[in-house]
A and B are shown apart, each in its own frame.
Chain A
């Protein structure tokens, strides 16, 4: 069935360094790939997304890249700050007649001051 694998499960970086989280999806019909950030005790919140007709998207310190051939997409955070510490989830959706998002298992990012 549809599956999204996410790595690593935990990631520690020094403040100011970059962080990269990778996801691989199985459904070739997937065409929308959002990333959600979940802070402690709160619900996930969308931080960036990308569609299958785009290879890269940037928003200030965060960027997402998509490789449709390899079926993987990645989240890049540059110049990390302590407030970037959170759990990050990737997701994939095919959109055509489906209302489901398949989520990855999450990455706990710790930014060390």
Chain B
């Protein structure tokens, strides 16, 4: 059972470079989320999607873009990476939205921006 798969797992970028993180889920979930995890700050929501073709901003959306062209995939893009974007990124999906939908997380993508 794959669940939620994130690629790549590790990446090192130079300031100003661009990259895309891919999240794929095989549970037919409507809702997908991108979080970043930083020491002492918990999990902060970057962007989320409530269905194919939809995206919305979370708590910390600046510097990121997302797309949900297919229901099973949620892409997170960094157009011009900055050192402040060094973090561990987690994708999650759920059958229901907030208020009762269990979040299923991927194993994370560790990004370092030099």
Contacts and interface: CB of A to CB of B under 8 A. Distances in A.
Interface of A: 6, 9, 31-32, 34, 36, 41-46, 49, 51, 89, 93-96, 98-101, 103-106
Nearest to A44: B105
B42 A105 contact: yes
B100 A99 contact: no
A99 B108 contact: no
Nearest to A1: B59
Contacts, number: 69
B74 interface: no
Given A32-B99, A100-B98, 17 more contacts: A34-B102, A36-B105, A43-B90, A43-B107, A44-B43, A46-B103, A89-B42, A93-B98, A94-B99, A95-B100, A98-B98, A99-B48, A100-B45, A103-B35, A104-B42, A105-B41, A105-B42
A99 B48 CA distance: 8
A65 to B, nearest CB: 19
Contacts of A41: 107-108
Interface string B54-97: 00101100000000000000000000000000000010100001
A100 B102 contact: no
A99 B105 contact: no
A103 B98 contact: no
Nearest to A105: B42
Contacts of B105: 36, 43-45
B100 A32 contact: yes
B53 to A, nearest CB: 15
Contacts of B42: 6, 89, 103-106
B4 interface: yes
Contacts of B35: 103
Nearest to A32: B99
A36 B105 CA distance: 10
A43 B108 CA distance: 6
Nearest to A106: B42
